Amino acid sequence: MTFVQGPVRATVPATSANLGPGFDTLGLALELRDTLEAEVLDGGLVVEVSGYGEGQVPLDERHLVVRAMRATFERLGQQPAGLRLSCTNVIPHARGLGSSSAAIVGGVWLARELVAGGRLLLDDAALLDLAARLEGHPDNVAPALLGGFVISGQDADGGFWAVPGSVDPRVGAVVFVPPTPVETEAARGLLPDVVPHGDAAANAGRAALLVAALSSRPEELLRATEDRLHQEYRRPAMPESLALVETLRADGVPAIISGAGPTVLAFTDGPGTTTADALLARCPAGWEAHSLAVTRPGATRAD
């Protein structure tokens, strides 16, 4: 196996999973991108981080991107003698916008590109499988890798799958990012082991409707984003976020908790529109708000 000479650069989008009723199966890529650069060295490990995580994340083999790269090189059969990694992070950490998935997808993508003929040795399906195994589930890594709207899951035999869906060009999003993070493990710990059959049936119907609403019927997004499986159970960890969701939905805005939270995502008719601008003006004090397009490319080479 031969490693390429010189640096390789990639960008990876933020993602929003669940989208209300599609717990652990629906995900959307958003035009907010981390940029990563990696290069094979003769020895050692150099990790540089700017933006989110600067001064907080480890700069050694524990770094999530490095761990993803090591796992990919292991799958390909050879570790490089040394590595340099530079990360410019704009995706907020621990806010429900897929920062860990972006790191994992960025790592596996960079490692593959650093190997001559890497795409022949590890296609996108294999890359998705590796990223999902590192993350534990595919709902964020699938749109981070493939872009757009993706329906994903895991078969009984443990294999992961992902099917891209379509998104009406009228659909955009405004995300409201609170200043306080919530770790995904803490948010998952609030979920019950068993839910009422009626709630499960209601979510199945809404998730199916959401696929249609995103593709061609955005007027159905308010009904399609109703959830009974996870959001209310997480209220103790993010009461302000759930209160904002309720306020927006009462005004007819299709608002949800993004991923495990605490970010709130509201669907709009696209960045720069009257709807998006009006929503940006409703950002709570101390929070950040961004109007974002749905991004079609997932992980891709950066110029």
User: Of 91, 32, 41, which is closest to residue 64 (Cα–Cα)?
Assistant: 91
Task: Give this prediction's pTM.
Answer: 0.95
The span from the CA of 77 to the CA of 149, in Å, is 32
272: how many CB neighbours lie within 10 A of its CB? 12
Task: Specify whether the CB–CB gap between 265 and 16 falls below 8 A.
Answer: yes
The answer to whether the annotation marks 260 as part of a ligand binding site is no
Backbone angles phi, psi at 52, to 5 degrees: -60, 135
Task: Please give the single-letter amino acid code of residue 83.
Answer: L
137 marked ligand binding residue: no
Q: What is the pLDDT of residue 184?
A: 83
Per-residue 3-state assignment (H helix, E strand, C coil) for 98-146: CHHHHHHHHHHHHHHHCECCHHHHCCHHHHHHHHHHHHCCCCCHHHHHH
| 92 labelled binding-site residue | yes
Question: Can you say how many angstroms the Cα of residue 64 is from the centroid of all Cα atoms in its chain?
Answer: 15
Most distant CA pair in the chain, distance = 59
- Is 216 annotated as belonging to a binding site? no
Is 101 one of the annotated binding-site residues? yes
Q: How far apart are CA 23 and CA 153, in angstroms?
A: 10
Taking the chain (303 residues) in runs of 10, the rounded mean pLDDT of each run is: 94 98 97 98 97 96 98 96 98 96 98 96 95 96 98 94 95 96 87 93 96 96 96 95 97 96 93 85 97 94 88
- Res 289: pLDDT: 97
pLDDT at position 187 is 85
Domain residues of the chain, as ranges?
1-303
The topology (CATH level 3) of 1-303 is: Ribosomal Protein S5; domain 2 (3.30.230)
Is 166 labeled as ligand-binding? no
| CA angle 134–142–27, rounded 5-degree value | 120
What is the token pair recorded at 78? 């050879």
100 is in an annotated binding site: yes
β partners of residue 35: 11, 88
The token duo for 94 is 């621990």
CA dist., res. 98 & res. 106, Å (int) = 12
Q: Give the C-alpha separation, 80 to 85, whole Å.
A: 13
The two three-digit tokens of residue 45, written as one number: 């490990």
pLDDT at 201: 96
Residues 6+ apart with CB under 8 A from 90: 32, 33, 34, 51, 52
